[in-house]
Amino acid sequence: MAALCYSLPSLTLKPSPLNPKPYPNIPFLSHPKPNLRLPKKPTTTITRMSLNPTPATDRLISVAAYSLPFFNSLQYGRYLFIQYPQLGILFDPILPFLSLYKSVPYASFVAFFALYLGVVRNLSFSHYVRFNSMQAVTLDVLLVVPLLLTRIFNP
């Protein structure tokens, strides 16, 4: 609106002895036209997805990190395995790893802190590995919540 008023010079009043300011009640019209400069367009950097694939070692470490919540979540499927025994055939290849994991006392506790302190907080690992490890730690913590609730309400 102010630009419209500035662009119409024939409608502006000139100061006179009776009226020193042309528009005394409208302050933005009584001042001279300010020197307006349009800001330069900011230079934007377009970030594109990297064409470099994630290294295989980073993917293997991420898969190993997700084994912690996977092993801890198998206890919730026991009713499904009882009802459908054929489903257990799918888990036969991981039974040696699962038996090793269950044979070590406090393996879940040790694996949790090893994953958090050894991978998530270690900046020498790539962001991809640390992110996936933190996701696995979060899933592991969330899997403990129903177990705690059942122990509290069903002693």
* Single-letter residue type at 145: V
Report if residue 76 sits inside a domain.
yes
- Please write the tens of the pLDDT for every residue from 74-94: 989 989 999 999 998 999 999
Instruction: Render each residue's pLDDT in the chain as its tens digit; 155 residues.
Output: 555 555 555 555 555 566 555 555 555 555 555 566 766 766 777 666 667 888 999 999 999 999 999 999 998 998 999 999 999 899 999 999 999 999 999 998 999 999 999 999 999 999 999 999 999 999 999 999 998 998 999 87
Contact 140, 68 (CB under 8 A): yes
Question: Which candidate, 63, 61, 66, places its Cα nearest to that of 122?
Answer: 61
Report if residue 91 sits inside a domain.
yes
Report if residue 43 sits inside a domain.
no
The model carries a pTM of 0.62
Report if residue 49 sits inside a domain.
no
Domain that holds residue 147: 56-153
138-146: long-range contacts, CB 8 A cutoff, minimum separation 24: 139/66, 139/69, 140/68, 140/69, 140/72, 140/108, 140/112, 143/69, 143/72, 143/73, 143/76, 144/72, 146/76
Contact 111, 71 (CB under 8 A): no
Report if residue 114 sits inside a domain.
yes
In the numeric block, which tokens belong to residue 71? 């092993």
Report if residue 107 sits inside a domain.
yes
What's the total number of domains in the chain? 1
For residues 30 and 6, give the distance between their C-alpha atoms in angstroms, rounded to a whole number.
11
Report if residue 32 sits inside a domain.
no
Query: What is the per-residue pLDDT for 106?
Result: 92
